[in-house]
Each structure stands twice: as structure tokens, then as C-alpha cells.
Chain A
Amino acid sequence: METRDIGILIVDDERVVRASLYNWFKEDGYRVETAENAAEALKKLQATGYDIILLDIKMPGMDGLELQRRIREFDKNAIVIIITAYASVDTAVQALKEGAFDYVTKPIDPDDLTHLVRNAIHQRTLAAENVQLKRKIEELSQLEEIVGESPPMKKVLELVKTVAATDATVMILGESGTGKELIARAIHANSNRRYFPLVPVNCGAMAEGLLESDLFGHEKGAFTGAQYRRKGKLEMANGGTLFLDEVGNISMKTQMDLLRVIETKQFTRLGGEQVIKVDFRIVCATNKNLEQSVKEGAFREDLYYRLNVFTIPLPPLRERRADIPLLANHFVHKYALQMSKDIKSISTDAMELLKGFDWPGNVRELENAIERAMVVGSPPCIKAEDLPRQVNGQSQIPGGDTLADVEKAHIKKILERTGWNITRSAEILKIDRVTLYNKIEKFGLRT
């Protein structure tokens, strides 16, 4: 900020004080104006803005304290510096309590004045930057990523808007691939916690001990391999939102620990004694029927009621088919940009196939199908044969003859059949969920 861009208003009933300060600041190149009383100051403030206002606390008529209150009415970020005589330090302290930046006593040490004004400008610049950055975050965190105009989706967006600004715990229910994390992000982005982090935890992807350490963090030497102290995700989410994905898969022990944290808002790291206080909002998601899990004794009832405060059910894609063309075109546009490919649309017959398919893997499956079609297809549009075999009805022989090739193809088939329902797929394959996650990772099935 150039000094000529900085406006200073001097309000003092003594002409010599006004003149002295005016000359002093003029030599620094500031835009300086003076006012001999509160009325003149308010008039000038209404006409133009000032970055710094130097106010004499004792003036006939409206005093500096009252004028400061009036200034705050139309510029709550104005930097006010109070000028006072020794006799009125108490009033200056009162002014500080009401938001004045600082006060100086007459006569002022030139060094103090220089530093004070420099600090005030620094503060003003930071405040302006802060406002600008917040505006930028708000622009970036609009709900634009959520595509859908069907009535069920409109209802979901309404619910998001209703609950976002409150601090209520939210449970998002929906099949795999319906966009639960996207909804969690939208809630966070529209909440008062948006300037703090959103920390996602995939509770289904980790073995019990790992999840515990991931959530609570650990002290050095807490367990074999804990070579350093590590902050957990509960600590990282302080001030922000903790997103617990697949919350229905948390073990009973971790459920108990989590319940305690939710109730007390404090915890200790694994192997540690220091009590850490945290403040976060919980948004959780599950594709399980948690009520049923409670009845079966697999999920704590008390935790269920803690988490199930406000529910947002996400409809599966087959129940909002009207959104399929919109979503498909959105993904075409997204991957065309990403892959720099000149494919701009989807052929009529390909679109018919997309609209007719049940999409057990929901939006994620649709996105994967479009991404694949963008890779194999050629301009100007995606054709029916570019779509995956389960969509266009053609059979496909798994490539390779090794046991690993067959295993990969079989796991993929089961996952597709269950719509990427991990628990169900693991049951069919008769392996545990963590093993299934490991195999998905190993075979790169998600990519």
C-alpha cells in the first residue's frame, strides 16, 4: 500500500494540534484531512473513507468516546487512535475496551507516533487481506460441484442449506457412490466453521488399531513403530468439521472412545496423559442401516442417538434418473478439460443406455463410466460402444491368464454386482473388509 493511498483523519478541537499533525503526516505522503469537532468529522467520514482516525478524547459537544461509537456504526473496521492528556487516561482505556486501536498521550514522542501509525497500517492491510481471502473462500466453496435438478436432489440441497449454518451433527445416509462426501463438504463450506479444516476419516478402510491412532494420534513410543508423536484427526479438525465416512463400521471399542470425545470434547493421545480439548462439528455418513445395527448390538445405541441428530438421505441415482443427462454431460466437460480431448457430447443412443442403466454404484459408477468412455472414445462425441460392457450389454473377457488376473476380474465383477458395497462384496467373497480394501488398492480397481 502506497502512503498516498492511506487516508488519515485528525479530529481535534485545538488548531495547533491539527496543524502539527497535518504537517507531520503530509511529510510522510499520506492523504490527510482534519476536523475540529465530531460533527465535521462525521460529515467527512460520510463523504469519504479513512484508514486511520486520530481522535482527541476531550472535545466540546460530542466527545471522542461517543464519536468512536458513531464511527463504528458505518465502518466497524476503522482504526481509531485516541489522543489524550495524562488526566484522561481512564477514558482512553475505556476507548480501548470499545475497540480503539491504541492511545497516545500529549505530547507524543515522534518515535511512538511513527511506530503506532505503521502498526495501524499493517493491521488495516491485514484486515483488508483477511476480508478478501474470506470472500475468495466463499466464492470457491459454492455448491457448484453438486449437480442435480431433480426434485429429490433439490430436497437434499434444501436440507444442506437448512442445517449448514447450525452446529448440529449431521448423518448422511446413502448407498455407496451417491456423493456423501460431497454433501459433507457442502455442509462444511456453508457453515461458520468454513475457515477451519474439514477432516475426512474413512472409518471403513482401516483396521481397529490404525483407526484409533488415526483419530486420537499417539505419543512417541505408544506402540511398536510409533517413532514420533503424531497429532490425530480429532486434533486436526479443531475449529472445523470431522467427517466420519462409513461410521457404521467402527469397532465397539472405538465407538466407546468416540462417544466419550463427543460428550466431553476432550481426549488424550494414545500412550499420552495430556488432556487435549477440541471443538469440532461431526458430519458422518453410512450406507448401512444403523438402526438395524443397533438392534443387532453391533452399534452402540447412545452413540447412534448422538450422531443421528439431523439426517440427510441421499437418493440413489436410479431414483433420480432425470439427473443422469445433466451429470453425464458434467463429467464429459470435466474430463474433456482434464484430458484435453475434443469430446463435447454424448450420442443419443449412448445417452439412452446411460438413462436406462440402474447404476448400482451410483454417481461414482456413472463418473467412472464416462471417464472410461472419454479414454477409449474419439471426437466429436461418446458413442454406445465407448461405454463399459455392463452398460452397453456387450460381454468382455478379462485380460490375462494368471491367477492374479482372474482374482482381479472376479473381485471387480462382485464389486460391480453389489454396486461397490464393500461389506456385501466382502461377505460374498468370504474375506474381511480390510482384506478387500487391500485387494482393491493392490489391483488398482478404483482407478
Chain B
Amino acid sequence: MSVIALVPIHTVPATQLEHLARGIREILHCETALLPRLEAAAAYEAARNQYNSTTLLAHLLPLRPPHSAKILGITELDLFIPILTYVFGEAQLSGAAAVVSSFRLRNELYGLPADPTRLRQRLLKEANHELGHTFGLIHCRNVNCVMHPSTYAEDIDLKAERFCEECWKEAFESVH
């Protein structure tokens, strides 16, 4: 597999980015490239005080370097798609771009003490999940697979960071 380009949107702590890049490289057996920061003002919707993830995908796509297989935006902003109240992330199914947010993965949002380790794990799982969609994977019934859908942040904790054997074979075996 070639390279997955990572784009911080607005502000993302460097440690978080480093952990995420390492995790993606390890799990997807690929290289990662960190691109310059992207501003998100164009995706902001004042009425909802949230950022439209579909608009962000549209802004990410032209930034993808020619040698990169996929481009992944990472943000701490609260994302939405027009019909839903929020999303953890969005991806183009069998496309090139995906975006993931840590905003609703934070324990503090649910009145619990902050847990940076758990937050990093959740972000890595959601990033792999959205990247899985760009490789054509749909949601998986296997509760341990990273492609299993998660509606709540706690649901994410139940699944693994990795793809189940079937999903891996379907999406990545021909790539590697």
C-alpha cells in the first residue's frame, strides 16, 4: 500500500497526531504523511455551532498528494451531516477522503473524568473505521471488528483497533 495523508483540521495536539499516525501505520501496514493544517471556517454552520463533515471532505480531496492512496482529516471540532445531529466521522465509501473527530469521543462530554489514553484509542479506532469505508468496507457484524458500527463512544471501547479476518481479506489483501 502507498501512503495515507493525514491532515490536522483547525487544532490537533501533536501527541495525538503522532499516536494516530503510528497506529494507522501498524494496522494498515502503510506509510503516513503529515500535511499542513486545514482551516475549517468554510464548513462551520452557525445555526448548529457545528462543522459540516461533507463540506470538509470536499475541501480535503484536492489536498491529496498524487502518491497518496487516501487522505484523512483529523479534528477536535464537532461534526455533523445535515440530516443527523452529529457524527464521529465521515468517509467516501470506496472513495479517497475521510474525516474523523475526537469531539464526541472525549469522556468529559459525558460528565466523566478525562482519559487521554482512552481518547487516543477511540480516535485510532474511528480513524481506521472511516479509512475502512474508503477501502470499500461496509459495517461488519463481528462485534470485535473495527468496522462494527458504534453509536455511542462506549460502543467504540468494545471493539478492537483491527479489522476482522474477513474485512481484512476483502479490503486489503489485494492491496498488500
Contacts and interface: CB of A to CB of B under 8 A. Distances in A.
A17 B82 contact: yes
Per DSSP, chain A at the interface is helix
A110 B54 CA distance: 16
Interface string A18-41: 011101101111000000000000
**Interface size, B (range):** 10 to 19
A108 B139 contact: no
B93 A109 contact: no
Most chain B CB within 10 A, of A21, A28, A29, A107, is at A107
A28 B149 contact: yes
A114 interface: yes
Nearest to B137: A27
Nearest to A109: B85
Contact of B84 (A3, A19, A26, A108): A108
A266 B85 CA distance: 53
A20 B93 contact: no
A275 interface: no
Interface in B37-78: 48, 54
B80 A26 contact: no
A113 interface: yes
B138 A110 contact: no
Contacts of B138: 3, 26-29
A28 B151 contact: no
Most chain A CB within 10 A, of B80, B83, B139, B149, is at B83
A413 interface: no
A110 B48 CA distance: 16
A145 interface: no
A111 B149 CA distance: 11
B102 to A, nearest CB: 17
A110 B86 CA distance: 7
Given A23-B93, A27-B138, A107 B149 contact: no
**Interface size, A (range):** 20 to 34
Interface in A26-76: 26-29
A87 interface: no
A24 B93 CA distance: 10
Contacts of A17: 82-83
B149 A29 contact: no
B81 interface: yes
B133 A107 contact: no
B152 interface: yes
B87 A107 contact: no
Nearest to B152: A111
Nearest to B83: A20
Interface of A: 3, 14, 16-17, 19-21, 23-24, 26-29, 83, 106-111, 113-114
29 contacts: A3-B138, A14-B82, A16-B83, A17-B82, A19-B54, A20-B81, A20-B83, A21-B83, A23-B81, A24-B81, A24-B83, A26-B93, A26-B138, A27-B91, A27-B138, A27-B149, A28-B138, A28-B139, A28-B149, A107-B48, A107-B84, A107-B85, A108-B85, A110-B85, A110-B86, A110-B87, A110-B151, A111-B152, A114-B149
